[in-house]
Structure 1
Amino acid sequence: MATPNLSEIITTTLTARSGKIADNVTKNNALLTWLKKRGNQRTVSGGRSIVEELSFAENGNGGWYSGYDVLPMAPQDVLSAAEYSFKQYAVPVVISGLEQLQNSGKEAIIDLMEARLKVAESTMANAISQGLYSDGTGAGGKQLTGLDAAVPVSPNTGVYGGIDRAVWAFWRPQVLDMPALATKDTIQPAMNTLWASLVRGADKPDLITAGSGAWSTYMASLQPFQRFTDSSEASLGFPSIKFMTVDVVLDGGMGGFASSNHMYFLNTTYLHYRPHKDRNMVPLDPGRRTSFNQDASAQILAWAGNLTCSGAQFQGRLIAE
């Protein structure tokens, strides 16, 4: 006979796995792994949108003076904020009444649900991973707003976070477009040039993610030297090697979404993964959902949030194609 408390099994099984699902998403994406490692996952408690405060100008009252010189006291408008919409993603997990009967017994039902939950996990992991490199226009503008919006190929145009880059130069990332496909002899000089444009005092890139083509070219440029990946970074599950003082991480290949011949020079101090605290890969309430005209039960795994940036000028992109 079918298990009478099947809906409870579906709900409790998914609830128990929600933390594991979030962890699997992290393991599936190098960028997200590094953001979480650096403490840049900050949950959102509510609000109409996700807001990142930022400064966009110096205080114009500053200046040299002598003795009894009058000091300027004019009000200064130096603070603003970037605003990002909540993006939502869901994966319904469904079981029909017939499947309940065919998989009678608690253990059989759990086995069936385990298989379907694993598919739900990988589905959400791939969607979040792809979204972190997207421009947010996918699915009719409902997709997560990722690096293709934060560090676009054309950095002088478009509105990002509610700020028009054609108007505000401080909101433009640094993009270096090589005239031809990078080679092992040209990629490091290009990386040096882009790196120099992103350093301001203590501010500098602390992570470089690379697509498969750019990664391979950079590795080829290191062939004359003996280099080793950092053991602590390798333990995170992603191959990495150093450039200057930072990790260059392969985030392409099979299941990766970084553009093949691109490198993203990121200052993660100004990049934030912002899931909502009540919708971070958890089952939706109510725990049980049934169809009024179908013999079926369902539970929905859901996420809401976005990738945000509070310093676009500190982000860079090398286009080697």
Structure 2
Amino acid sequence: MVIVSDRQYRQLLTAAVAKRSREVQDIVYNATPLTRILRDQGRISVKRAGGPELRIPIEFDKLQAQWFTGYDKIEITPKELLNSAVFNWSRVVGMFSLTGTELLYTRGEEEVIDLMEFYINAAEKSVKEEFETSIVGDGTGSGGRQMIGFGGAIPIVPNAGTYGGISRVDVANWRTSTFDVTTDFPDIGSTWDSTTARPIIERISLNRSRNGQYADLLIADALSYQAISASFVAHQRLMSERAARLGFAGLAYHTPAGLVDIVAAGGVGNVMPANTIFGIDTQSLAIYEFPGQSFVPFHPGDGMRPINQDAIAQGIVWSGQMVLENPLFSYRLITA
């Protein structure tokens, strides 16, 4: 029997966590259509300027063009076009620990590798689930430490509060939109079903678009998705080139604004709000990672050994933030 020393054990742990951390990044970002799309579009990136805050320059106003002739006065009132949205870095870690007793009873190299695989799988699963939960969260989870997801970026009340330190009360271009099927589309209907789903999506897509920019991805809860799916006949159940290339299941609508991918959010442990559809302008959404914090080992080397315990602690950590840089074209649709 091969005896694995404590030093060899720690070396195996170091190699296993470092190798697996690269795989975890792929697993997490490939877990949802949204993150797959963002990664494909280069919207997941490292913010090189590390610091206590994430600052994103944003354009929240525009210059006004003017028709004129002769001695007309030209409007030259100064306008502040650029400002910085400021976010805190959010950090998530999947931790595990191994005791000296487990080390003692795991004597062969293959046994050690099996044990590593089990614990790293568990850390990977915990990070993945927390990350997915935060995508639709409002950033208040875990005492405000959670990543700010759609709950904060695309709120129910779009003209209240702040986002990234910028007031949505004062800056209209920093607001998303919220639509309610029961009240906002009287000429189409007040019930979300197979006859109203398509015209409502078409109207919102066109009204919330400009210069080819619009919400090109719809994320629907299970109930809302059923009505959309029922609105198609069999030969209309199409998939966009993007969905086929990235390998996620969904439907595609040709709206007056352009092609829209529609995916369902559901399953065990799903946290998607009921009777809700998020319309996402993926060109305006980004995930920024803190330098050197993209699903890497939490402790350097082979982990942390407490001075008063016979154990080794290690984990996989991610630090970053999701930012809706131009909220104007994204929306929330309440379907009941």
What's the TM-score once normalised by structure 1's chain length?
Answer: 0.93
Q: Which one-letter code corresponds to 1:148 in the other structure? A: G
- 2:208 is equivalent to residue 208 of structure 1: no
- Report how far residue 302 of structure 1 moved: 0.7
Corresponding position of 2:316: 301
- Report how far residue 93 of structure 1 moved: 2.1
Whole-angstrom CA distance in 2 between matches of 1:278 and 1:181 = 48
Contact 1:211 1:262 in 2 (8 A): yes
- Report how far residue 197 of structure 1 moved: 2.4
Gaps of 5+ in 2: 183-189
Q: Which one-letter code corresponds to 1:18 in the other structure? A: S
Contact 2:297 2:316 in 1 (8 A): yes
Contact 1:209 1:248 in 2 (8 A): yes
- Report how far residue 253 of structure 1 moved: 2.9
Runs of 4+ in structure 1 deviating by more than 6 angstroms, as ranges, are: none
Gaps of 5+ in 1: none
Pick one of 10, 13, 31 that aligns with 1:10. Answer: 13
Residues 159-308 of structure 1 aligned to structure 2 (within 5 Å): 159-179=162-182, 182-223=192-233, 226-230=236-240, 233-234=243-244, 236-244=246-254, 245-287=259-301, 288-308=303-323
Query: How many matched pairs?
Result: 320
Q: Which one-letter code corresponds to 1:299 in the other structure? A: Q
Whole-angstrom CA distance in 1 between matches of 2:269 and 2:202 = 29
Whole-angstrom CA distance in 1 between matches of 2:37 and 2:334 = 22
Q: Which one-letter code corresponds to 2:223 in the other structure? A: G
Q: Which one-letter code corresponds to 1:192 in the other structure? A: E
Question: 41-50 or 267-276, which moves further after superposition?
Answer: 41-50
3-state secondary structure, aligned to 1:104? coil
Question: 263-272 or 196-205, which moves further after superposition?
Answer: 196-205
- Report how far residue 231 of structure 1 moved: 6.2
Q: Which one-letter code corresponds to 1:295 in the other structure? A: D
Residues 11-50 of structure 1 aligned to structure 2 (within 5 Å): 11-45=14-48, 46-50=50-54
CA-to-aligned-CA distance 1:156-214 (integer Å, 9 cap, x gap): 21211111112221111111112165111222222123212211122112211122111
Whole-angstrom CA distance in 1 between matches of 2:52 and 2:151 = 24
- Report how far residue 235 of structure 1 moved: 5.3
RMSD of aligned residue pairs (Cα, Å): 2.0
- Report how far residue 40 of structure 1 moved: 0.7
Identity %: 28
Whole-angstrom CA distance in 2 between matches of 1:30 and 1:258 = 14
Contact 1:29 1:256 in 2 (8 A): no
Contact 1:52 1:309 in 2 (8 A): no
Whole-angstrom CA distance in 2 between matches of 1:74 and 1:183 = 49
Q: 1:92 to 1:167 in 2, by over 3 A?
A: same
Whole-angstrom CA distance in 1 between matches of 2:304 and 2:293 = 17
- 2:81 is equivalent to residue 78 of structure 1: yes
What's the TM-score once normalised by structure 2's chain length?
Answer: 0.89
Q: Which one-letter code corresponds to 1:52 in the other structure? A: I
Contact 2:123 2:315 in 1 (8 A): no
Residues 96-111 of structure 1 aligned to structure 2 (within 5 Å): 96-111=99-114
Q: Which one-letter code corresponds to 2:66 in the other structure? A: G
3-state secondary structure, aligned to 1:290? coil
